Amino acid sequence: MRALPLLSLLIGLLILAGPPSLAAADVLQEVRARGELIVGVKDSTPPFGFIREGSRSIVGYDVDIAAAIARGLGVKLRLSPVTSATRIPELEQGHIDLIAATMTHTREREQQIDFSLTYFVTGQRVMTKRTGGIKALPELGGKKVSSVRGSTSEQNIRQAVASTVVIAFNDYPSAFLALAQGKVLAMTTDETILLGLQRKAPRPDDFVLLDGYISTEPYGLGIRKGEETLRREVNRILLELEASGEAGRIFNTWFGPGTEVPLKRTFRLETGGVPIR
């Protein structure tokens, strides 16, 4: 009988304390307990995340970075395909622990999620058909340009050439197909993605990139807001990858001499690297 007032006191205290706060949850602990890091990656954006021909596995620069993070945390890696539009909601809803999906770190996105150090840097450009007759950006006024829903590319082109008609697709191969089939006059996104798609096309020489960049796009790994312990661990691992030379080796696997998209490595994985817009 005497337990009853004590019980109601306890219940009262619990009600006063409110529901367990989400901010107090620690994804890093959860990942370690689970023994697996779930990373959202693209599956049709070469050379960052795409399905290797004749296999069912997703490979690419983003995948190798994700694998290195999992290794650094001492857990297994599980990949979960995302698109530009689904990646932030998937993270916020807790379906994935991390985003490694060609995602630019922007001030606008910082309202929703946190970011790791920059782990890749590119810039937005425009690709047309060689026979398309377009030579410079301003000529895209009033013309159809394809891009992808939920990307910075889609926003930036509207700012760069206000009167373009942007046709937004769910993924980059669809945006590229629209260009190849002449449904749009140009396609725009990060230079590296454009080159990756162009080099895999049956006739790469049918396509050209216009001179000049619309923006700088520093990629960061996306982390749920407030997950500071995971963010610190991820950054520690990224810095270690740079120091050990592993980050350079991963870059060379996908962008080194002899690859489909040979590039110069103009960045390092370091604190306070590329300014964020």
Neighbours of 268 (CB within 10 A): 14
Closest approach, Cβ 50 to ligand GLU, in A, equals 13
Which residue lies nearest ligand GLU, judged by its C-beta? 151
Tell me whether residue 120 or residue 207 sits nearer to ligand GLU (CB atom).
120
Cβ–Cβ under 8 Å, residues 261 and 192: yes
Q: Pick from 20, 31, 22: which is nearest to 230 by CA?
A: 31
Tell me whether residue 190 or residue 233 sits nearer to ligand GLU (CB atom).
190
Cα angle at 45 between 158 and 68, to 5 degrees?
Answer: 120
Closest approach, Cβ 153 to ligand GLU, in A, equals 5
Cβ–Cβ under 8 Å, residues 268 and 242: yes
Return the C-alpha torsion angle 210, 213, 218, 222, nearest 10: -60
Closest approach, Cβ 151 to ligand GLU, in A, equals 3
Tell me whether residue 83 or residue 128 sits nearer to ligand GLU (CB atom).
83
Tell me whether residue 73 or residue 100 sits nearer to ligand GLU (CB atom).
100
Q: What is the token pair recorded at 116?
A: 């790791």
Tell me whether residue 128 or residue 189 sits nearer to ligand GLU (CB atom).
189
H helices of 140-277, where? 152-160, 172-180, 191-200, 228-244, 246-255
Q: Which residues contact 156 (CB under 8 A, 6 or more apart)?
A: 124, 188, 214, 215
Residues that bind ligand GLU (CB under 6 A): 84, 101-104, 148, 151-153, 189-190, 217
Tell me whether residue 63 or residue 148 sits nearer to ligand GLU (CB atom).
148
Tell me whether residue 84 or residue 86 sits nearer to ligand GLU (CB atom).
84
The Cα 75–Cα 88 span in angstroms is: 23
DSSP letters spanning 7-52? HHHHHHHHHHH-SPPGGG--HHHHHHHHTEEEEEE-SEETTTEEEP
Helix 228-244 / helix 246-255 crossing angle, nearest 10 deg: 80
